[in-house]
Structure 1
Amino acid sequence: MRVIGIDPGLAITGWGVVESAGDHAHMVAGGVITTVAGTPLAQRLQIIYRELTVLIDRWQPESAAIEELFFGRNVTTALTVGHGRGAAMLALANADLPIAEYKPLEIKQAVTGYGGADKQQIQQMVKLLLNLEEIPRPDDAADALAVAICHLHSARLLSL
């Protein structure tokens, strides 16, 4: 199964494509889509949508996974990230990909076995689980790979 994982944002949207074969998974590709602050919102959303559409066409995932929003009291941050998340979800939906959404706690548990894991622990496990020589950079790409790994674990459990 080939999955594209998305760590949504307006300034930086992380993406990672992971493929599983049996009990093993490997990274196919990963990176970030960036938009420049000060650019009109509609143009920034268009960049996310268009670039993600190109990535989907290039890497041909069978399904998609995206991180759900979680922001305590910062409504402005939630709205900003929500815009980018919406553009990403539209690109995934227009590609007719099944989309799974995961809470940050679910992703941490799936990747590290511990819901209170910090960013470095998650990145270290992404490196180990995908048998990489180094932690993927930037952080947003590693986070997107963690989302994809979470989905592979969930899909594996559902098939039991």
Structure 2
Amino acid sequence: MTKESTYYASVDSPVGQLLLTGDEFGALTSLSVPGQRGGRTVQPGWWHAPDRFRDAERQIDAYFAGELKEFELELRAAGTGFREKVWAALDSVPYGATTTYGEVAARIGAPRAAVRAIGGAIGANPLLIVRPCHRVIGADGSLTGYAGGLERKRQLLTLEGRREAEAEGW
């Protein structure tokens, strides 16, 4: 295998079949859901290797069973320095909590005016679910964009105990 090899596997979940990709070092490089805006699809030359993703699959299953609150996977997603700062801020939002785009901006030291850029970086997150971009909501408490679709975002927040996702009609 070359250094640029991509490995993949599909995993069933309550939000649809997940496509996981990884690199030759065993790091998870993306997790996509069906119909995801900007999501990945299997490409020629990728290696189907479900055994490489057994730990990720186990943790994803435990998450959806309500038994796992924090993923312990090696993640390697390439992005601009700005995007990587935003993604690191997402990693600090705990299970069952939500944050706003403005709060993410403050966490990374960006001006409030950068909220649109923050939204773009969050929307470009290649690791849905394991990097919790679904926990970012609007400043007014509204359910806002999610690359995997608002219904999936609602499902994930409800799973994590955010009952207002149902009560407020999110």
Indicate the structure (1 or 2) with the bigger Cα radius of gyration.
2
> Please, what TM-score do these two structures have when normalized by structure 1?
0.31
> Please, what TM-score do these two structures have when normalized by structure 2?
0.29
Relative to its length, the structure with more strand (as a share) is 1
Relative to its length, the structure with more helix (as a share) is 1
